[in-house]
Structure 1
Amino acid sequence: MSLNVFGEQLSAAALRERTGDLASVAGVREIELTNGVERGVRAFQVRTSAGLEFEVLVDRALDLGAARFRGVPVGWRSGNGFRHPGLHENNDEGGLSWLRALDGLLVSGGLDHTLFGNEVDADHYRYPPKQTVAHGLHGRLTAIPGRLLEAGEVWDGDRCTLRVRGEVVQATSFGEHLRLTRTVEADFDGLELRLTDVVDNLGFERTPHMFLYHLNFGWPIVDAGTEFVAPIAETTWQSDSVKEQGVSYRVQPDPQPGFVEQVYEHRLVPDAAGRHRVALIRGDSTLGVEVTWDAATMPCFFEWQNLRSGQYAVGLEPSTHHVAGDEAARADGSMIWLEHGESRTYRTTIRVLDGTDATSSARDAIRRVAGQPD
């Protein structure tokens, strides 16, 4: 086994002979954001020798901030900044204040609610003054600081894993007591990051659980001609704006002034390994990203087109639940209820597709699973 470092195959010993600090090549570095709305947010920068760089925002539920490949932006930046959680107003703006926290490669939704806000029954918590629970868009998770458990380089012979691990607890007296334990990893010389999330119920009341990844990609991954590739059996829901604007879900146009977001729920076909996989590929096929995840744990998927000038992004959103949300899931029996000590595990991979061979291979692999409507 050896490491691919700047095109050379080197053993770990040979690499150490060539530098006094491996951080010159790849590694994990702790930083703290110190200005504006981001002031006080702890983060870790993860860099691989292949040129993949991303940030893990410890104080933003260990979500993923800026991401680049060889200096080229991969993750989307909205302009909101990575706001300190102390500035978050969970129930303001009719429950839409979550949109002020929407920035970066990954913004997670959960842990007991995702999708649009509503008010639901709270009898299961057996606290008479609390008859209902009010939720905003995509829940409370993203505004909860994490507790760091591990960060650094983990060597096993000539192989090295760059790892950040921490936990986020969402809790209230007489209510939910859920914990997310998140591990973010990349190989020392890798082109992909791996996300492993475990959600468990620390409380002793039966508690609802919903979970969603808002994975956001911007320019230049998203540009005129960028193709969304997915094995789609059918599109089960779409926002009214799709019919009104008529913009293709498959091929992205230039930025549009005043564009109204288009959202789709697509029913995907899993591959032979039981995983869902989708990709965004630039029109010239020189660059793209592929996202894969366990189909059994996140069976639902949304595509978010925010093609407005100054915003311009595409979101790929694996989800535990359908677009109808919390109330509908309780009614039709699809709500996930965690008893004390029960847990759910989620595994997701985000891979950079570097060059036409990589993008063609990803497209062909997805096409072998299933086609998709025009």
Structure 2
Amino acid sequence: MKIFGSELTRAELATRTGDLSAVAGIRQVVLDNGLERGVRAIDLRTAAGLEVEVLVDRAFDLGSVRYRGMPLGWRSGNGFRHPGLHEHNDEGGLSWLRALDGLLVSGGLDHTLFGGEVEATGYAYPPKQSVSHGLHGRLTAIPARLLEAREIVDGDGSSVLRVVGEVVQATSFGEHLRLTRSIELDFDGREIRLHDVVDNLGFERTPHMFLYHLNFGWPLVDEGTEFVASIDSTLWASDSVAAQGVSYRKLPQPQKGFIEQVFEHELVADAEGRHRVALLSADSRLGVEVSWDAAGMPHFFEWQNLRSGQYAIGLEPSTHHVAGDAAARDDGSMIWLEHGDTREYRTTIRVLEGTEATDTVRRSIRAAGDQPE
């Protein structure tokens, strides 16, 4: 392992400290003030300087993420509010926006994108002819059950920090879906690896939609920050794009009153069947690459929230097109899970340091396909 510039085996490192958690490790904490009070979290730290906060009580999502003390994940000002404060159907279904904070906010498990009312007779409960959904579903405000939090040491001495949790979204006479999420960081690593498995514990045919709202903020997101992707076409853009004319490729400085811009890009998968996108700083000395299995999440949205005091970019792999739940049912693209059916998702978030690393990623992403102006 590379530890603070030195190549050391685990045994050699052990001779230099009585507790390896001084270098990297896992710590369980409980947030204890304001609207975050009572929220369980797990802090993971690597020897390379990557710090990741896993919010156990917010669907095992990712909260604050830092690299060598510098924030990468976006903070909205909402805070990591206790799930007991969440009101799913408040504000016309837009109350999800009060929970939007941190690097990863997951949408699902039976609904993502904008809300509405859809048919629910398949659950065979006469009083429930339809179900009402809010923005990005119910998953965000469901606490997880912690299954594992430990360091795994392989036979060759390499070490992985691993946490595993499960989130169950269920109601009587309705969906009964489970998300099992594994998060891994190498002891000396600069990347976060997510492995999600969604399965249907119920005995009714149940819709499944899933989305990652991966949110990045300043200082990675700043004037001149470049979004890099291999794009076959842009299938859809919000009306605000034509009105404001801000490029999807390079970002301006924060703008007062900016109206969010959303693009649905049709990405080109690489030779390994993965979609890859990156955000690179204006001077190319810092970046983040996000990659995932294209088969699991074939769709992708770019969210630009460049408003002063908000200023973020969201990279959003998705199981479904932007048109959402009702459209997916109409065109046959809805994913239906029978009892015992599973879906798997694998995603990697990697920190890029230095111009050599960012240039290499830019070239390799563009090698899969062009990126139109």
Class of the TM-score when normalised by the shorter of the 2 chains: over 0.9
Counterpart CA distance in 2 for 1:190 and 1:270 is: 25
Q: CA deviation at 1:99?
A: 0.1
Counterpart CA distance in 2 for 1:165 and 1:141 is: 17
Aligned equivalent of 1:70 = 68
SS at structure 1 position matched to 2:11: helix
SS at structure 1 position matched to 2:361: helix
Q: What whole-Å deviation, never above 9, does each CA across 1:122-168 have from its counterpart, x for those lacking one?
A: 01101000000000000000000000000011111311110110100
Alignment TM-score, normalising by the size of structure 1: 0.99
Aligned equivalent of 2:259 = 260
Q: CA deviation at 1:173?
A: 0.1
Q: What whole-Å deviation, never above 9, does each CA across 1:242-297 have from its counterpart, x for those lacking one?
A: 00000111000000000000000000000000000000000100001000000001
Aligned equivalent of 1:342 = 341
Q: CA deviation at 1:91?
A: 0.2
Aligned equivalent of 1:232 = 231
Counterpart CA distance in 2 for 1:357 and 1:188 is: 23
- Aligned AA for 1:117? G
Q: 1:155 aligns with which of 140, 143, 153?
A: 153
Aligned equivalent of 1:58 = 56
SS at structure 2 position matched to 1:59: coil
Q: CA deviation at 1:373?
A: 1.1
Counterpart CA distance in 1 for 2:325 and 2:57 is: 26
Counterpart CA distance in 2 for 1:133 and 1:231 is: 37
Q: What whole-Å deviation, never above 9, does each CA across 1:78-116 have from its counterpart, x for those lacking one?
A: 000000000001000000000000000000000000000
SS at structure 1 position matched to 2:15: helix
- Aligned AA for 2:357? A
Counterpart CA distance in 2 for 1:334 and 1:342 is: 17
Q: What whole-Å deviation, never above 9, does each CA across 1:199-238 have from its counterpart, x for those lacking one?
A: 0000000000000000000000100000000000000000
Q: Which runs of 5+ in 2 are unaligned?
A: none
Moved over 2 A (4+): none
Q: What whole-Å deviation, never above 9, does each CA across 1:177-203 have from its counterpart, x for those lacking one?
A: 000000000000001000000000000
Counterpart CA distance in 2 for 1:355 and 1:33 is: 34
Q: Which runs of 5+ in 1 are unaligned?
A: none
Q: CA deviation at 1:344?
A: 0.2
Aligned equivalent of 2:277 = 278
- Aligned AA for 2:102? G
Counterpart CA distance in 1 for 2:120 and 2:296 is: 25
Alignment TM-score, normalising by the size of structure 2: 0.99
Question: Is 2:303 the partner of 1:304?
Answer: yes
- Aligned AA for 2:144? G
Q: How does 1:12-23 map to 2 (within 5 A)?
A: 12-23=10-21
Q: How does 1:155-194 map to 2 (within 5 A)?
A: 155-157=153-155, 158-194=157-193
Q: 1:46 aligns with which of 39, 44, 54?
A: 44
SS at structure 1 position matched to 2:365: helix
Q: How does 1:355-370 map to 2 (within 5 A)?
A: 355-370=354-369
Aligned equivalent of 2:351 = 352
Q: CA deviation at 1:371?
A: 1.4
SS at structure 2 position matched to 1:18: coil
Q: What whole-Å deviation, never above 9, does each CA across 1:20-47 have from its counterpart, x for those lacking one?
A: 0000000111011000010000000010
Counterpart CA distance in 2 for 1:13 and 1:177 is: 46
Counterpart CA distance in 2 for 1:340 and 1:12 is: 44
The alignment's C-alpha RMSD in Å is 0.4
